[in-house]
Amino acid sequence: MVLRILEGQSGVWCQGAGGTLLLPFSYAVDGQLTAEGRAEVTRSGITGHRPHKRYSLTVVTATDCNLGCPYCFQNTAPAEPGRFDPPRIPRAVLDDGTIEKIAAFTGPRMRRAGMDRLFVLLFGGEPLLNPAACRALLTRLGRLAPVTASMVSNGVLLTPATARGLCALGLRSVQVTLDGPRDLHDGIRTSRAGRGTFERIIANLAAAQETTDLRFTLRVNATADVLPRLEELAAHLAGRLDASRCVFDVAPVLNYAGLYDAGIDHTGAEVSAVLRGYAAALDHGFDVGWPGAGACGFCTERDGTTGAVVNADGTLYSCWETIGKPGYEVGTVQTGYTDYPDSVWVSCGEFAARESANGSAVFADRLAVGLMELLRGRRRGAAAQNGRRPAGVS
């Protein structure tokens, strides 16, 4: 990961794979660190990777999805006019035989990396279209090592019974996407028959919170229509859910293969709208994550060194963004990694970086700086209120 140097109101923010550091303005000139700045970064260790303590495994349990979101990166073409079921990547369903192969693939790589714990991400499609495989996978991998699991789900099928069963096997968190307040969400994030899903999703999350200790990341898709209503959405969600057990995360909708235009112009006004949404979420008790994640356990190191991404049929990919895309296969769990062109190994976020020509890179930098300033201010305020010094930046 290249060192990211961003000027904010409080100083110069430096982000590396190992963390974030705030330096005085005098430590950078024209976007470049001075000798003193470089020395301070070196001493901080933020340019080095933090050691991975657990093996990270993404597994697709079903490539099908019960929703027909027009922007999905797994769509292969738009839906026909008047329909809500865009064509998707080839169908695959995880079965017991492939689960055994995944376990046989994972064990030796964990031992080689000196890791004795597993982080498992249940992925799709919609993983809960195959709940039996979710349970079987976590059960089998739990015989290899202690498992902590997360899941990316649309939430429509997350019943209390399903949530309890998966929690018993190590599930600790679920990411669920929302497309704004109910009227906006139900106009985009529909079933494949065109029905809205907002109420069912929120009701399911609330019920899961009542019966389990699950934490939720509420990933709010940023479109031109959603941005002015983020504060409204945060208030509504806080009235329906336990905000203290939720992360509020605003994310851009990428125009994969030209299938969907979110209408974002990447302006300063749009950055301000997102920051107001984050501020409202914090006011309502939601958690907000620090921008600029470190090295990804799944895709930063190649060929299964610290983690792997497995499709339901056992095919290996470099990251979640390439699952099921023809030409991006890098091996199978049965045969291991194969020889493949360097261009095939895509790290998460790389497709987003390719959109920098339309201003998204500048937008992302502005948003990251604004969010770091916001979170720093909240931390300092909380520390002052409690009569103690604020903790370090990261």
Residues 149 and 290 in one domain: yes
Residues 285 and 363 in one domain: yes
Q: Mean pLDDT throughout 357-374?
A: 85
DSSP state of 287: B
Residues 62 and 210 in one domain: yes
pLDDT confidence bin for 91, thresholds 50/70/90? very high
Q: How many domains does the chain divide into? A: 2
Question: Cα–Cα distances in Å, from 358 out to 4, 253, 264, 272, 362?
Answer: 20, 13, 10, 19, 9
Q: Which of 32, 50, 68 is the last residue of a domain?
A: 50
Q: Are 315 and 332 in contact (CB under 8 A)?
A: yes
Residues 120 and 233 in one domain: yes
Inside any domain, residue 286: yes
Query: Coil, strand or helix: which one is 83?
Result: coil
Which tens digit of pLDDT belongs to each residue from 196-241? Answer: 999 999 999 999 999 999 999 999 999 999 999 999 999 999 999 9
Inside any domain, residue 303: no
Residues 46 and 59 in one domain: no
Residue 86 confidence (pLDDT): 96
CATH number, domain of 244, equals 3.20.20.70
pLDDT confidence bin for 296, thresholds 50/70/90? confident
Residues 42 and 63 in one domain: no
Inside any domain, residue 301: no
**Tokens 């027009």 belong to which residue?**
70
Query: Coil, strand or helix: which one is 195?
Result: coil
Inside any domain, residue 391: no
Return the higher-pLDDT residue of 250 and 383: 250
Q: State the residue range of the domain holding 190.
A: 55-295+350-369
Inside any domain, residue 310: no
**What is the enclosing helix (H) or strand (E) of 175?**
strand 171-178
Residues 45 and 92 in one domain: no
Inside any domain, residue 339: no
Inside any domain, residue 324: no
* pTM (2 d.p.): 0.93
Q: Are 94 and 137 in contact (CB under 8 A)?
A: yes
Residues 1 and 129 in one domain: no
Residues 104 and 149 in one domain: yes
Using omega within 30 degrees of 0 as the cis cutoff, is the peptide bond preceding 48 cis? no
Residues 28 and 79 in one domain: no
Residue 354 confidence (pLDDT): 61
Q: Are 78 and 68 in contact (CB under 8 A)?
A: no
Measured distance CA(330)–CA(337) in Å, rounded = 6
Inside any domain, residue 316: no
Residue 50 confidence (pLDDT): 73
The two tokens of residue 3 are: 């060192």
Residues 42 and 5 in one domain: yes
Residues 178 and 64 in one domain: yes
Residue 194 confidence (pLDDT): 97
| Cβ-based neighbour number of residue 292 at 10 Å | 19
